[in-house]
Amino acid sequence: MTNSCDIKLSFGLEIGIIGTNFISDTFCEALKILGITPAAVYSRAKETGESFAAKHGIKNVFCDFDAFCSSDKINSAYVASPNFCHSSQTLSLLEHGKHVLCEKPAAVNSYEFAKMRKLASSRGLILMEAMRPVHDTAFNVIKKLLPQCGKLRFCHFEYSQYSSRYDRFKNGIMTNAFDPTLSNAAVMDIGVYPLHMCVYLFGRPESVISRSVKLPNGFEGQGNVILGYGDMTAEIAYSKITEASLPSFIRGEDAEISFGHALSKINEIALTKRDGTKIPTEFSPVGNNMIFEIRDFCDCIAGKISPEGFLDATENTIYVMDEVRKQNGIEFPADKVIF
């Protein structure tokens, strides 16, 4: 099995980071594992940027976004800002000739993502969504096991994680994590993982049926989606207000693959035949699976692999999220162009 020591990056990243929250800390830790120190960080607040830079040994701190984009200190950027900023910041970086690895969801809607993808292509630059599970070695294990399942009939992809900020929300304290004006919703923040895994494996569905549960401020707290694939049905479940303990699974006529539990980082995979026989799988999770998306980002830039399959999966996922939001009245300011 692949481990962090096996990974040799094919492109010399001089990467700048936008965003200083916990996901950026995790990203910096992954870079460190791979022997990379980020070249720069952008933060609107100087003190916040300097504190983050000191923590991760970053030499260059920017509070001016245009200066960050045009800097010769970076050749690429990791965008981990709030959802509603992803598209505009990515477009600016691409305009300045930088490759972009953008946190999920890459865009608020299909219209935004189409602009991003078109610009990256026209400039000969790499755009990739930071969607950890489909770059993780766990995903390749699951794909290789699929033929043993026989004719596929049903699958269940779930990511339900009780948000660490939900108790504050219930106590009347508004946080960004539950603020719908920032293009936040459970489907955007956490549902994107099971949806993306499903459409990466099976493509754009023939039909989408969904139902959302909203909190008093209109924020979507959880949702369920049924995706139609002809003679197979996919069920998607996601929540920021409950916790799941059961695994996800893909079920065929001959066997079932189960994997769990948080789809951002799969920690176990099992194959069970129809007669109950359990087949061992060779899989060991790594401590920080962001190393794999960084590797693939570098390989795309170096021309070793094509980004098109990743981009197609992102495009199809955003299409499904658009449908879910339309069906459940989840609208953001950016949607006025298309909704």
- Render pLDDT for 43-57 as a digit per residue (tens, 0 to 9): 999 999 999 999 999
Could you report the per-residue pLDDT of 51-91, keeping only the tens digit for each?
999 999 999 999 999 999 999 999 999 999 999 999 999 99
How confident is the model at residue 205, as a pLDDT?
Answer: 98
Rounded mean pLDDT of 303-316? 98
* pLDDT at 302 (0 to 100): 97
Share of the chain above pLDDT 70, in %: 98
Tell me the C-alpha to C-alpha distance, in Å, between residue 47 and each of 29, 39, 54, 235, 310.
21, 18, 10, 45, 36
Q: What is the pLDDT of residue 212?
A: 98
- What are the residue boundaries of the structural domains of the chain, listed by start? 4-132, 134-292+317-337
pLDDT for the residue 339: 52
Per-residue pLDDT at 129 = 98
Give the pLDDT confidence of 260-287 residue by residue, as tens digits: 878 999 999 999 999 999 998 988 899 9
Average pLDDT on 5-21 reads 90
Q: Does domain 134-292+317-337 have CATH number 3.40.50.2000?
A: no
- Report the chain's mean pLDDT, rounded to a whole number: 95
Q: What pLDDT was estimated at residue 280? A: 87
The percent of residues in the chain predicted with pLDDT above 90, rounded, is 93
Confidence check: pLDDT of 3 > 70:
no
Give residue-wise pLDDT tens across range 155-212: 999 999 999 999 999 999 998 899 999 999 999 999 999 999 999 999 999 999 999 9
**What's the 3-state SS for the chain?**
CCCHHHCCCCCCCCEEEECCCHHHHHHHHHHHHCCCCCCEEECCCHHHHHHHHHHHCCCEEECCHHHHHHCCCCCEEEECCCHHHHHHHHHHHHHCCCEEEEECCCCCCHHHHHHHHHHHHHHCCCEEEECHHHHCHHHHHHHHHHHHHCCEEEEEEEEECCCCCHHHHHCCCCCHHHCHHHCCCHHHHHHHHHHHHHHHHHCCCCEEEEEEEECCCCCEEEEEEEEEECCEEEEEEEECCCCCCCCEEEEECCEEEEEECCCCCCCEEEEEECCCCEECCCCCCCCCCHHHHHHHHHHHHCCCCCCHHHHHHHHHHHHHHHHHHHHHCCCCHHHHHCC
Which pLDDT score is estimated for 261? 75
The predicted-structure confidence for 289-302, as pLDDT tens digits, reads as follows: 999 999 999 999 99
Q: Is the pLDDT reported for residue 19 higher than 80?
A: yes
**pLDDT for 184:** 95
pLDDT in tens, 94-109: 999 999 999 999 999 9
Second-level CATH architecture of 4-132: 3-Layer(aba) Sandwich (3.40)
Q: What is the pLDDT of residue 301?
A: 98
Give the other-Cβ count within 10 Å of 41's Cβ. Answer: 28
Residue 7, pLDDT > 90, answer no
- Across 122-149, average pLDDT: 97
Taking only the tens place, the pLDDT of each residue in 221-238 is 999 999 999 999 999 999
